[in-house]
Amino acid sequence: MRRGKFKPFWKLEHARPFNELRTWFSEKVTLDAYQDPLNSIMYVDDNFLSISTPYNNFRLAFFIPWVVAFWILLFLMVSDFGPNTGEISSANAMVQAKRELDIRGESYDPRDYVYYEMLVGDDGKSSLGEYLNAVSKYGGKLYIKRVYTDIVIICVLFVISLTSTLALLRFPRMADIYFDRRRRIVYTWRLGKVAACHFDNLGFRETANGLNLLLMSENKKRQYWPANFTVQPTGRPHLNTENDNTEFIAQVFAFMDKGKKAVITGERFERAYPKSYLFVDKKPDNFDYRVEEILKRDSELPALYAKHLF
């Protein structure tokens, strides 16, 4: 059941008013209420329906695997750095050969053995300091260059791994997008910036990444400007189709028009949030006032998302 013209996944189209879908859904979609409404819906009561944003999905599908991959690569590089068992055994053999020459009183060039003596030290084992000292003083130019290159790579990987891990730990759980049935508005916030609009002015665009919702948001340069918020009813971070959004869109229309009984069978639904976050994106100060200021201007929203790509 296609409700729009086919667009290649790489071609971004302009957003359209969400309300344009109302007629299509009223004619072609029959919706049942469930104990669990699914579709990434986090909360439903008499006045509010909220849906989670897909940052947790992106975090699990992309960010965490990259962080783990960097740490694994760092571990492999560190494990492979320095002399292996064979090199240490060969160095000890050379040191032993020098001792035997001394015992027999035979002549030799000490420079042929000083690298190996420095590499294994007095205990016949090689520490990191002994290895670096031996290489820097008596290693060949190409070997020194290779060792220094490995050190640079290890340092870069460590910085990337540590930075990405700290970013992962500090990144907060983003706020839900709220549909307020009583006031007929949609609102959310992101890292201190408030976004809102009247339900009739809400924009949408369906892509392979999910359903994009266009709200009017606070903007540093323009004061107020449309902002794109993605929802993923399926929970998949990619390869989403119109059919994946159908039930969720129908649930939104049903809730806004008929209330919670059209969406859930109980008095209230609340889904537990992921516990893998150390921080939560807190609601900004003076939130209600800032929402009202945005709502005074959101009549411009449909014209803006029809003209510009977001």
For residue range 246-269, list pLDDT tens digits in order: 999 999 999 999 999 999 999 999
The rounded percent of the chain whose pLDDT value lies above 90 is 58
| Highest mean pLDDT: which range of 51-60, 94-103, 156-165, 274-283 | 156-165
Cα 185 from Cα 199, distance rounded (Å)? 5
pLDDT digits (tens, 9 = 90+) for 172-193: 999 999 999 999 999 999 999 9
Report the pLDDT value the prediction gives residue 4, as an integer from 0 to 100: 59
Sign of the dihedral through C-alpha 57, 59, 65, 68: negative
Domain coordinates in residue numbering, the chain: 16-53+176-307, 65-170
| Model confidence band, residue 235 (pLDDT cutoffs 50, 70, 90) | confident
Nearest Cα neighbor of 232 from 243, 240, 242 is 240
Report the pLDDT value the prediction gives residue 191, as an integer from 0 to 100: 94
Q: Which two tokens stand for residue 307?
A: 């003209």
pLDDT digits (tens, 9 = 90+) for 73-114: 999 999 889 787 888 888 888 888 888 888 888 877 777 788
Report the pLDDT value the prediction gives residue 44, as an integer from 0 to 100: 98
* pLDDT exceeds 70 at position 7: no
Cα 22 from Cα 262, distance rounded (Å)? 15
